[in-house]
Every structure is written in C-alpha cells, then in structure tokens.
Amino acid sequence: MVEVYERIYNAILDNRLKPGTKLVEERLSEIFAVSRPRIREVLARLAHEQIVELYPQRGAYVAKPTIEKAVDIFEARRVIEPAIVRRLCGNLTSEKLERLHAHELLEQDARARRDKRSIIRLSGEFHVLLSELSGNAELARIMRELSTLTCLVIFLYNLPTATTCRHDEHALIIEAISARNVALAESLTLQHLDHIEQSVKLEPPEESTDLEDVFKVRD
C-alpha cells in the first residue's frame, strides 16, 4: 500500500487534492484497483499524520486546518526548528552541505519556471531535509508532519506571494549553517517562520476536486 499512500500524499502536497476534498473509499478503490479495506488503511495512516480528517458516517477528507490550528502549527515549528538547525550546525559535513545546496538549486529552478505548486512543495521539503540531516529521526518525523500541514495552510489561506518566503531566505539559512553560526541560523529560521505566518490570509476559495481526474495520470 506504500504506492497508494505516496500517490495520495503527493497529490495533497502538490495541491491537486485540495484541503476539504472528500476522499471517497469506493472511488479510490476503483482508481487504484485495490480493495476498500486497503484504502481504509491508507486513509487511517494519513489521518494519524493529521493530513486527512475522518468523520463517523461522513468519511475522509483532506485536512482543512483552521486559523487556530495554523497558529498552533507555527508555534510548534518555532520551538522545534531552532533545535534542528542548532543540531545540524554541530554535526555538519560536506556531504550534508552539498545536499542542501542541491535542494536550493531545485527551488531556484521552480522559481524560474514560476511553478507555484513546486515552489511551495520544495519549500516545505527544505525544512524536512534540514531535520533529516540533523540526525534526529523523531525530529524528522515531526517536521515532516508539520511541514505538510503548513503546505495545507498555505494552499487553504492563499499566501499573496504563493512562495512562502523571500526567494533568498533558504539560501541565507544555508549560509549561516555552513559557517556554523548557530545564533544566526536560529534567528533566520525564526524570521522565516514569522514571514510565512504573517502572510496567511482568511477566506480561502472553495473548489471541488474530481478524484479520478487527479489520479488518471501517474505522478
């Protein structure tokens, strides 16, 4: 069921499945040619990660974070992410730095193409990469969930720039980490999170999504 999970997860992360979209078990079972119990397992896993919301007698929906939930997400990130960059500064290697720079190039390419979905997805993945490189598996797991939820907040509340941050903010964080300047890396990370939260808008547009249309072409 890993493939089904990844395809649904990626569709959510790419905003092809929008916040609030109903995930109908029967339709997903037909689309992926697997049993409904298998689909239910995948949806339960996504619900455990807070990416999907399950309602008795109503079914499963892509998570639709409230403003209060968004505030909680950013508060959690402000606690966790300084610890991540601090840890990474302490165990940085040339290989880790190369991976950060390689990801930065992917972001630059997405910006050059003005691919808003990729920009937001890659921005979230940058923070997950930081957590993975820090070497703490639990921080990486938590950061993955928080990053995905942040993407949902961005898509739902429509950031004006649709980029989540200034184009150079990740580069500046990488530069501080490269210099092992812990205080600067922490400060830049917190500023970055503040910029994202301050840009969130209310009143997201309501749109319907056709499940078959989302998955008819493989990722």
What CATH number should be reported for the domain holding residue 73?
1.20.120.530
Model confidence at 211: pLDDT above 70: yes
- 180 and 103 inside one domain: yes
- 156 and 174 inside one domain: yes
- 97 and 137 inside one domain: yes
63: confidence class by pLDDT, cuts 50, 70, 90: very high
- 86 and 186 inside one domain: yes
- 90 and 164 inside one domain: yes
- 58 and 77 inside one domain: no
CATH value at residue 40: 1.10.10.10
Q: At 107, list the tokens.
A: 């972001």
- Domain containing residue 43: 2-63+205-215
pLDDT of residue 163: 47
For residues 208-217, give the mean pLDDT: 70
- 104 and 188 inside one domain: yes
For residues 48-68, give the mean pLDDT: 93
Model confidence at 161: pLDDT above 60: no
Q: Provide the sign of the torsion angle of the four alpha carbons 190, 193, 195, 200, taken in this order.
A: negative
- 12 and 117 inside one domain: no
- 81 and 24 inside one domain: no
For residues 67-94, give the mean pLDDT: 95
- 170 and 76 inside one domain: yes
- 125 and 168 inside one domain: yes
For residues 91-112, give the mean pLDDT: 95
- 159 and 182 inside one domain: yes
Q: What percent of the chain has pLDDT over 90?
A: 70
Mean pLDDT over the full length of the chain: 89
For residues 23-31, give the mean pLDDT: 95
How many domains does the structure of the chain reveal?
2
37: confidence class by pLDDT, cuts 50, 70, 90: very high
pLDDT of residue 167: 73
Q: What is the distance between the alpha carbons of residues 106 and 95, in angstroms, rounded to a whole number?
A: 17
Model confidence at 25: pLDDT above 80: yes
Q: What is the distance between the alpha carbons of residues 118 and 5, in angstroms, rounded to a whole number?
A: 20
How is the chain classified by DSSP, letter by letter? -HHHHHHHHHHHHTTSS-TT-EE-HHHHHHHHT--HHHHHHHHHHHHHTTSEEEETTTEEEE----HHHHHHHHHHHHHHHHHHHHHHHHS--HHHHHHHHHHHHHHHHHHHHT-HHHHHHHHHHHHHHHHHHHT-HHHHHHHHHHHHHHHHHHHHHT-SSSSSS-TTHHHHHHHHHHTT-HHHHHHHHHHHHHHHHHH--S-PPP----HHHHHSS--
